Structure 1
Amino acid sequence: MTQAAAKTGFSLHEDWASVILGGATILIFLGWFILPTPTFAWKDSSELAQKVFAANNLSAIAIQFIYTFVVAIAGAILTGKSWKNLVIVFPILFLLTIIAVILAGNSTIKSLNLEAVIFSLTIGLLISNTLTLPDWFRNTLSTELFVKIGLVLLGTGVIFSDILKAGALGLIQALAVVLSVWYFAYWVCRKLKLDEELTMMISSAVSICGVSAAIATAGAIQGDSKKLSYVISLVLIVAIPMMIVMPYIANHFHFSQEVTGAWLGGSIDTTGAVVASGTLVGDTALKISTIVKFSQNVLLGVAAFAISIYWTYTNKTQKDGTVAKPTLGLIWERFPKFVLGFVAASLLFSFILRPEAVASVKDSMKSIQTLWFVLAFTSIGLETKFSDLFNENSKKPLYAFLIAQGFNIVITLIIAFLLFG
């Protein structure tokens, strides 16, 4: 079956499709039906059988499959892709994704802070590098659409009242760290002559919130999925030793829990690793680290908006090779519309809905948002070859990331002492 065989005459940009599908999900959850939230937590084979593979839990997973399957088909129709091919590809994609989520749910794996996206990416990479997948299979994967739907739903978790509760010091540190580290990382990347897409992704990943920032930036600049996969791999690999080593450094030099928490929250890129490292230090450190990291996460939408404007203004070359003036019309044309969905969702859940309504859908919304991200990373793995990730050309991005992360660790510690010492 060819890709063209089932294309429709109608085609919508995937940014608008993600806003429509993400918005429809929110409305359905609020006014009609809340998807059940399956559990994937287990510590041994007995719990795996009794909890994860229990009939009611498998039923919840099946309902999530039906929902994502229908949305994926709707996305294919809206964007003019082959929905007939998707009928074959998506069940396979979902099965591989669920395997990754189950692996990540093991208590030992959780203690190492290995997230589901690591397993989904790895599973996809192993398959794509050991089997020869047909072109129509790869072409059917809707990686960017899945990511953007997840980002729209991510807006439901950015609640402005929670931002205010984080405290002035947490917000001040987050802003100081994000601005200083982002510009330093950008400078290092340009000095090493990295291309602009990698420069933007690495700068955002190091300075804001790791995986989510890299994804949002890739969406804002319409970045290459292979480059995104590489940056995400760096974020996850580097976060693990930082999570283990930094608490011991803090204890050795007798940093206060407040300073340690602010240091951990501002410099470790993934939220899960921040929580794990804060737990190693103490309750106060855990609280402060979580506040600081959440404050940085809040800047994600603002950063995506600013990056999209900057990208449009500085990249003036059009597809036909001509140079376009950065008019308001051009900025709007290139602006990632999924950011509007993210902001609208955040405003809706922050100022319009009652707290009880937000609480009623919070867990289910988080579960389905995470599922879209993991589906996207399974897709990235299936699209990517190891040779694309780790080769001679990957040395400079690695050096840039490590240098920027080193600066992040030092400057964040200084700011933590100034604000919390």
Structure 2
Amino acid sequence: MSANAAASDSAYPSPGPSTARWWQNEDWLAVLAALPILIAVANGWSPKMPSLGWTGAADAAKAFSADNLALSGVLLAVFLSISVLALSASLGKRALSFLGGAVVVFVLAWFSQWIANHAGIKAWGLEYVVFALGLGMLWSHTLPVPEWLREAVRTEFFIKVGIVLLGASILLQEMMKAGLPGLIQGALVIPVVWYACFFIGRKLKVDDEFGVMLSTAVSICGVSAAIAACGAIQGDRKKLSYVTSIVLLCAVPMMILMPMAVQKLGLSEAVGGAWIGGTLDTSGSVAAATEQVGKDATKVGVIVKLSQNVLIGVAAFVLSVWWTMRGGKDGATKGQKPSIGVIWERFPKFVIGFVIASIVFSYFVPTSVAEAASKPLKGLREVWFAAAFVCIGLETRLGELFKLGGGRPAIAFLGGQVFNIAWTLLLALWLFGK
């Protein structure tokens, strides 16, 4: 098979159509895969995560200790067993090929997390997803992608499992603890900035599928929101990798410049923290930037970012309904009123899993258990998200990525971010200024 063929979407497994039986539909399979993890965690299972932090060559080998590799082996066993069991009915005799490929995907995902845990890289706010994408692309550009490896490229499935697990980490009580000003800011930032970015994208003739992912990323919380939006509308993985790259590239200079702007403008720590928390698109970059302003800035910045994070589920739900009602990316049924049956057929079922997971862990799991589950759920979620971005890299050609949209999506994102900076500053002055 040629390199181009191997890189094309058609060369990789794709999710079953919405009319397929439930065991062939990746939405339901993602919920099925996440279910045993959620049940186990709700009942007190707390898998220990491997320690991947390091500062330089002297302690780089710590991650490869026997104990650490054993913990990583447990995660690999969980990843493989749950994924292959969920996909077994659709895989059939290809299950062995999937297992072999999934081991490679997991190892590349593990290395992406190890790289991202370097102290210097963490200080810059760079997240594992960019390294997962990069390692996948490095493999696809320098090594062959055989059939058995392509069998494990299940991007949508891995993303949807991660999103369902994400739901269990969104505790609705935290929304109340975040405080009224933070909630008001989140509620006013998300719809206004989303529409502004989407409007700019349309003016620049950016397609709506791209526009949804860009707008959701800039208005909520960057990479996680972009992943949720992509899953909700069953978006193009190449476009998701493009959006992720733009988010992370934009976060680095903002993380440096915004604390300087806070000082130059003479803003209080509370206002500065609210401004940074509402505009920077990754949690890591918010923490790194607000620490340069002060303790109060960090506290407020984290509260504001939390207020936006807890609204991911609402945004994913609204996006999925709106996208279904408009007839998908081609707008085939735009202007028509689809029946309830058609809406249900097209509705991304994994969103239901996300919402139910959030409600159950918020109100039906003891608070102490739900809070203790936050860290292991984050680690498990990142395994599936990292695997998804490795898969995106394996099926993406660098040349194709740069050609997407002719630069217009990047301009739309930057335009939306400029609007976000101005609008969020006004809200921060109103809500947190004295």
TM-score of the superposition, structure 2-length normalised?
0.91
User: Per-residue deviation at 1:12?
Assistant: 2.5
One-letter amino acid of the counterpart of residue 233, structure 1? S
The CA distance in 1 between the partners of 2:404 and 2:87, in whole Å, is 36
- Contact kept in structure 2, 1:177 and 1:412, CA below 8 Å: yes
- Contact kept in structure 2, 1:156 and 1:349, CA below 8 Å: yes
Does residue 68 of structure 1 match 2:86? no
Does residue 13 of structure 1 match 2:25? yes
**Match for residue 180 of structure 2 among 168, 191, 211:** 168
One-letter amino acid of the counterpart of residue 81, structure 2? V
One-letter amino acid of the counterpart of residue 315, structure 1? G
The CA distance in 2 between the partners of 1:419 and 1:306, in whole Å, is 26
User: Per-residue deviation at 1:319?
Assistant: 11
- CA spacing shift, 1:285–1:326, aligned 2, 3 Å: same
The CA distance in 2 between the partners of 1:193 and 1:3, in whole Å, is 29
User: Per-residue deviation at 1:173?
Assistant: 0.4
Provide the aligned length of Structure 1 versus Structure 2: 417
- CA spacing shift, 1:351–1:286, aligned 2, 3 Å: same
- CA spacing shift, 1:140–1:62, aligned 2, 3 Å: closer
Partner of 2:377: 365
Partner of 2:250: 238
Does residue 30 of structure 1 match 2:58? no
User: Per-residue deviation at 1:392?
Assistant: 6.6
Query: Which stretch shifts more, 35-44 or 284-293?
Result: 35-44
Partner of 1:149: 161
- Contact kept in structure 2, 1:41 and 1:106, CA below 8 Å: yes
The CA distance in 2 between the partners of 1:46 and 1:14, in whole Å, is 44
Partner of 1:123: 135
Partner of 1:188: 200
Partner of 1:77: 88
User: Per-residue deviation at 1:149?
Assistant: 0.7
Does residue 59 of structure 1 match 2:36? no
How large is the RMSD of aligned CA atoms in angstroms?
A: 2.4
Query: Which stretch shifts more, 387-396 or 109-118?
Result: 387-396
Query: Which stretch shifts more, 18-27 or 314-323?
Result: 314-323
> Structure 1: any 5+ residue segments left out of the alignment?
none
- CA spacing shift, 1:319–1:132, aligned 2, 3 Å: farther
Partner of 1:158: 170
User: Per-residue deviation at 1:260?
Assistant: 0.5
The CA distance in 2 between the partners of 1:134 and 1:351, in whole Å, is 46
The CA distance in 2 between the partners of 1:320 and 1:178, in whole Å, is 28
The CA distance in 2 between the partners of 1:331 and 1:18, in whole Å, is 20
Aligned-partner SS, 2:311: helix
The CA distance in 2 between the partners of 1:192 and 1:10, in whole Å, is 39
The CA distance in 2 between the partners of 1:133 and 1:325, in whole Å, is 44
Does residue 315 of structure 1 match 2:327? yes
- CA spacing shift, 1:106–1:193, aligned 2, 3 Å: same
TM-score of the superposition, structure 1-length normalised?
0.93
Aligned-partner SS, 1:391: helix
1:5-404 correspondence to structure 2 within 5 Å: 11-31=23-43, 33-49=45-61, 51-80=62-91, 82-134=94-146, 137-315=149-327, 325-391=337-403, 393-404=405-416
User: Per-residue deviation at 1:302?
Assistant: 0.5
> Structure 2: any 5+ residue segments left out of the alignment?
1-10
User: Per-residue deviation at 1:320?
Assistant: 9.8
